[in-house]
Amino acid sequence: MKLSRQSSVGVLQRLGLALLALPALAFANADVEKNIANSKNWATQAGDMFNQRYSKLNQINKNNVGKMQVAWTFSTGVLRGHEGSPLVIDGTMYLHTPFPNKVFALDLDTQKIKWKYEPKQDPAVIPQMCCDTVNRGLAYAEGKVILQQADSMLVALDAKTGKVIWQTKNGDPKLGAVNTNAPHVFKDKVITGISGGEWGVRGFIAAYNLSDGKLAWKGYSVGPDAEMLIDPEKTMTWTDGQMKPVGKDSSLKTWQGDQWKIGGGTTWGWYSYDKATNLMYYGTGNPSTWNPSQRPGDNKWSMTIFARDLDTGVAKWVYQMTPFDEWDFDGINEMILADIDVKGKPTKALVHFDRNGFAYTMDRVTGALLVAEKYDPVVNWATHVDMKTGRPQVVSKYSTAQNGPDVNTKGICPAALGTKDQQPASFDPETKLFYVPTNHVCMDYEPFKVEYTAGQPYVGATLSMYPAPGSHGGMGNYITWNAGTGKIVQSKAEKFSVWSGSLNTAGGLSCYGTLEGYLKCVDKNDIKKELFKFKTPSGIIGNVFTYEHKGKQYMGVFSGIGGWAGIGMAAGLEKDQDGLGAVGGYRELSQYTELGGSLTVFALPN
């Protein structure tokens, strides 16, 4: 639905509110729910719609994981970074690769390839991808395998044959609007986002019909209310210690002129869904450009947690984590939904570990801010989050806007890639703790003036990255986090950033990969107790997953160095400040691993 600005708000109020007034249909996609309920499957990227990344399987457990061996491997035939994980549905595994985004269906009895799909994409899309040619995986529902290609084509494949059922174009790669995210299926919708904040792409979230691929609704991150599917009177935000309506033109008022049209707020992360509220949750990315002096204002609603009605797309509540971002603290990390005690009170919570170094606990129904605390002690750009206003209290010394263009602001923690980037954390319903792979990296940041040219990089900052000074000397920590109190419970130091998604199991394990290439499993009650360690063929930026086939539990992970942290190796970059500062920061990686692209699957010996 496209509305003129003049009529949009009124129409939205008349029609959108009428839709909101309808009782929420408390159904998720029944097929996806069925597949998730069978713990032998790994039916979604996070194992469920809450993004908890927890498995009930316990054949591999803390008493025997030390005996785990490689069961089989599979080369994807593609180098570059391998993020995400395969899916397993009823005896078939579906794998994806980075660009050119090949998809394989494997028979788990024999590991034989049942079918392969390789889209024909213009290689010109590769230089339009800011931080490696990664892809974060597939979705599956009702006999369809859903692929979000780099060139922005959203494709539904027949799960039995690999043939295309429908496809639709989600963006224009010539303008930098590419895709790296995994699509998600909630109810009868396929949800996808867009990448390209470093190209000045205006971010949005889009819902397509699972049945035919037609657009159901599209909500932008910034701009006029109607195009954002924001209701000025009903969309709420945290204000003066309570939830209040955002008011008219809440985004437009916070941008100078038409800067919002190239204002970023892209949506390349993970999405979650609660059928009880019929709300889907996600975060928006950095405002464009990285030079804050060119876009004065809060730049709403970049850097924001959105809760949208799944049927209409209308935003129920929003919360901006980093108003007027000055450091590229992209807000796209996953929202984990969990029912936990918050300050002693049972709460339907949303927990988010943001790039800016603060972990947020929200009431996922109302959007109220409950907890906001640092999850790495070295975070220094803000002293704390004011719990009444919800705003971080910025330290002037680390303000790149205050220091101005062409001034190198040094010693900012965390670095632009955040205390955590896209690598998903897990939640364990037994320990009630969150298991978080983190970066322990700081930076120097020098903004400079940049002109916008359609289809060209629009960054406007030079960065250098390095391990957090005065700390353990490494660039990563694996931590457990109490989201009810906002405190680190345990922290395990790692030499490099932990760029792999974690997995917790009923077997008492918490497992993750390292950039050097190790798959590690630790005791989830004492994460400093390492129970298993194996060096895979390349660095790991994929997410650990598990499944059961014919009575045997397996655990697997992609290896294939790349992503932002490994962009130097993946793309052959040499200068320290290339890769937006990551090349110099992670230069030592080449002493520990090489390029690759493979899946390693483990099991206990017979």
Q: What is the DSSP string of 146-197?
A: EEE-TTSEEEEEETTT--EEEEEE---GGGT----SPPEEETTEEEE----G
In whole angstroms, give the CA distance from residue 476 to residue 496: 5
Quick one: pLDDT at residue 593? 97
Distances (CA, A) of 45 to 76, 198, 307, 572: 18, 26, 20, 29
Tokens 């971080």, residue located? 392
**Which amino acid type is present at position 54?**
Y
Q: Do residues 479 and 374 lie in contact, with contact meaning Cβ atoms separated by under 8 Å?
A: no
Q: Supply the pTM of this predicted model.
A: 0.95
User: Residue ranges of the chain with pLDDT lower than 50?
Assistant: 1-25
pLDDT at 7: 41
* 170-187 pLDDT tens trace: 999 999 999 999 999 999
Q: How far apart are CA 85 and CA 550, in angstroms?
A: 21
CA dist 366 and 316 (Å) reads: 8
* CA dihedral sign of residues 178, 181, 182, 184: negative
The pLDDT of residue 28: 81
- Amino acid residing at 369: L
- The rounded distance, in Å, linking the Cα atoms of 299 and 263 is 8
pLDDT the model gives residue 484: 98
Tokens of residue 290, six digits: 């990285």
Return the active site residues.
328
Count other C-beta atoms under 10 Å from residue 356's C-beta.
28
Say which residue the tokens 């719609």 belong to. 49
Six-digit token pair at 342?
Answer: 């918050």
